[in-house]
Amino acid sequence: MFRSLHMKLVLIMLLLITSLMTVVGTFMMTNITGFYIDQFYYQVDSVFGSSNPANAAFVNTLRAEAAQTDGLHTIREMIEAKAGDLGLNSNTRTFYILDGRTGMFLDGSGDRKSFERLQATPNLLTARSSVAAGSALVGAESDITANYMDVAIPIAGGENAYIIYIYDNRSTVNDLNSQLFMIIVQALLVGLLISVLLSFLLSKTMIIPIERLTERAEKVAAGDFGSTITVESSDEIGILTTTFNDMAAVLEETLDEVASERNKLDTLFLHMTDGVISFASDGNILTSNPSASRMLGREVSFYDYDALFGQEVPLQKVMGLQRPNFASRELTVGDRILELYLAPVSDGEDGGVMAVMHDVTAQRKNEEMRKEFVANVSHELRTPLTNVRSYAETIRDMEDIPRETENGFLDIIISETDRMTRIVQDLLTLSRLDSGRAEIKMVRFSLYDAIESVCRAVDLDAQRRGHALVRLYGDTLPMITGDRNRLEQVMMNVIGNAIKYTPSGGGRIEVDAGVCGKNVWIDVSDNGIGIPQKDRERIFDRFYRVDKARSRESGGTGLGLSIAREIVMRHHGSIALTAHDGPGTTVRIVLPIRQKEEGAV
């Protein structure tokens, strides 16, 4: 309850008022009592005090009267004459004339009974013992805490000794004090009421803005940057409010920036091709991206570190690495080759491990293909070079070589040289197509004319081998966009292969074409040796040949179909073997009818 600032303020005000009134009240009451006592002794001193010479005469007269046998009456009259100076006319103060030796009541303004009710006070006792000494005043002091004040004046004269005893029961000052007490209590109550009202007023000017500030701070802490607080004053609270508003604005801006950066990172994390998994120090997965599950062929969030990579590098070993060191391994998952990098995230107990996987399957395959390609090129060139060299050496070393034999050898040398030239030319074409340097000139041309021109060119060769070249396409074929020369080169290669790989005599080579949607298709079928199932996939690879000897015999380089595929792909088309019943082969080329004309594709 007293934890709120408002209640604390009320409490402080109450305590303040109460303690202030208590101090003031006590101070006043003590001072009033003190003043009353001082006043009493001042009055007594003004009559009996030795400082005033007139008093000495008065006291001496009293002593002289005391020496008389009937002096008591005169003494009483003399005291009564001084009643005004001694304040005896108030009903709180009484004087008694006592026998100096016995302390018995003799006379006075009070009666015997009232005297007997009084205690034997220290002043009275002292006066009795000092009567003989003739002291003037006894007991000029009174205890402030006592409920009376008194003074005893011994008067000794001749044989007689009297004590004039003045007693005040302090009821005046006590009444005054209780009145004062009541006033203070009333003032206290009013003060308390005012303090409560004041504290409400203060809370309006001080605590309400602080409460508003607190409320907004709570909202900001919960991420709600909604509205700003209105600054209503220019005091410290006003400055605090302005500063808080500024701080909230900066915080919102910073958080927005952080959130935006985080979004970017999340998007990157989600769509990056590398697989990323972060593990806590106990091996549980904290985050992972879809690529990680795809690469490992399973939903990684169901596993932990030990199940995924425990076999490769133990978790503790990775955690023990000093950053920026990391562990790397090569993993084979199914037909994928993955490079795995494992690094500690941060030192200490709240650290973890970050695993990054990079798919290097294509890279490795490319490396393999490159090695294979280099080996193939070397091999393809070495064979004709060896032939050329051995025939040339034979011609050089043989004496009396018959002219016919020499010509035969020279023909072989020329044919091998031609073969090497063809290989080099094909390699150059492929290299240009690969690097994009080969220009593809897109123009509109008649597909029918192009196929016809290729068929006419190979017809003679087909006839020579005893094949029938059957043209199934009609003259209604559309105009298409493409590089006519290069597409004719593709068709020449495919039809040439059909002729080459069909045993001489009785072969039937069919060329057909048509339109299918936005594309045209060209089919080249033969009833030749066909291509075994296992080789069908690789037939478009560089230097791949089903029967190397046969291909070489027929002058093939093993690069024709690779070049064909590159050209067709540059036309955004496709070339593939079509599955069909019976022996022989069908190759289908599909090309878009329309595409952007002119310029390199």
Question: Which residue in 397, 429, 383, 392 sits closest to 411, CA to CA?
Answer: 392
Cβ proximity to ligand ADP, 289 vs 527, nearer residue: 527
206/469 with CB nearer ligand ADP: 469
| Residues 6+ positions from 172 with CB-CB distance below 8 Å | 36, 90, 92
Residue position matching structure tokens 């559309």:
478
Q: Residue 75 CA to chain centroid, in angstroms?
A: 102
* Closest distance to ligand ADP from the beta carbon of 546 (Å): 3
Q: Least distance in Å: CB of 566 to ligand ADP?
A: 11
Residue number with CB closer to ligand ADP (138 or 469): 469
Question: How far is Cα 278 from Cα 186, in angstroms, rounded to an integer?
Answer: 75
- Residue 517's Cβ-count burial label (10 Å; 0-12, 13-18, 19+) is exposed
Radius of gyration, alpha carbons of the chain: 65
**Token digits of residue 266:** 């999340």
When the beta carbons of 288 and 527 are compared against ligand ADP, the nearer one is 527
Place of tokens 């007139």: 54
Selection from 491, 498, 458, 454 nearest residue 586 by Cα: 498
Where do the DSSP E strands lie in 115-190? 149-157, 160-168
Whole-angstrom distance, CA of residue 115 vs CA of residue 70? 22
Of 416 and 526, the one with the shorter C-beta distance to ligand ADP is 526
Closest approach, Cβ 505 to ligand ADP, in A, equals 16
Q: Rounded to a whole number, what is the largest CA-CA distance in the chain?
A: 202
Name the β-bridge partners of 332. Answer: 337
Q: How far is the CB of 533 from ligand ADP (least distance, A)?
A: 13
According to DSSP, residue 207 is labeled I
3-state secondary structure 524-553: EEECCCCCCHHHHCCCCCCCCCCCHHHHHH
**Nearer to ligand ADP by C-beta: 319 or 568?**
568
The runs of H, that is alpha helices, within 141-227 are 171-202, 208-221
Q: Which is nearer to ligand ADP, 532 or 599 (CB)?
A: 532
- b/e map 291-307, b = 16+ CB within 10 Å: bbbbbbeeebeebbbee
Residue whose structure tokens are 């007991």: 139
Which of 341, 288, 279, 356 has its CA nearest to residue 316?
A: 279
Q: How far apart are CA 130 and CA 381, in angstroms?
A: 155
Whole-number minimum distance, CB 549 to ligand ADP, in Å? 10
DSSP designation for 400: T
Residue 514: CB minimum distance to ligand ADP, A: 20
Orientation angle between helical segments 71-81 and 53-67, nearest 10 degrees: 150
Q: Where are the alpha helices (DSSP H) in 272-336?
A: 290-296, 305-309, 315-319
Residue 478 has what DSSP assignment? P
What minimum distance in Å lies between the beta carbon of 455 and ligand ADP? 16
- Taken in order 56, 58, 61, 66, the sign of the CA dihedral is negative
Identity of the residue, 237 or 561, whose beta carbon is nearer to ligand ADP in the bound complex = 561
Q: Which helix (H) or strand (E) holds 138?
A: none
* Of residues 442 and 509, the one with the C-beta less far from ligand ADP: 509
Closer residue to ligand ADP, CB minimum distance, 376 or 551: 551
State in angstroms the smallest separation of the CB of 408 from ligand ADP.
Answer: 25
Smallest separation, CB 528 to ligand ADP (Å): 5
Smallest distance, Å, CB 521 to ligand ADP?
17
Q: Which is nearer to ligand ADP, 66 or 499 (CB)?
A: 499
DSSP-derived letter for residue 579 is: P
CB of residue 466 to ligand ADP, shortest distance in Å: 16
Q: Which residues of 117-134 are buried (b: 16+ CB within 10 A; e: fewer)?
A: ebeebbbbeebbebbeee
Least gap, CB of 518 to ligand ADP (angstroms): 28
Min separation Cβ 543 and ligand ADP, Å: 8
* Pick 8 or 382: Cβ nearer ligand ADP: 382
Nearer CB in complex with ligand ADP: 582/599? 582
The amino acid at residue 241 is: T
Q: What's the Cα-to-Cα distance from 293 to each of 20, 22, 300, 407, rounded to whole Å?
A: 78, 80, 5, 68
Query: What residue ranges bind ligand ADP (CB under 6 A)?
Result: 493, 497-498, 501, 526, 528-531, 539, 545-547, 551, 556-561, 585
Count of all residues that appear for the chain in the document: 601
Tokens read off for 212:
């508003």
Q: Which is nearer to ligand ADP, 63 or 419 (CB)?
A: 419
Amino acid at 230: T
* Shortest separation between residue 545's beta carbon and ligand ADP, angstroms: 3
Least distance to ligand ADP from the beta carbon of 416, Å?
A: 16
> Smaller CB distance to ligand ADP: residue 92 or 557?
557
Residue of closest CB approach to ligand ADP: 556
DSSP state of 231: P
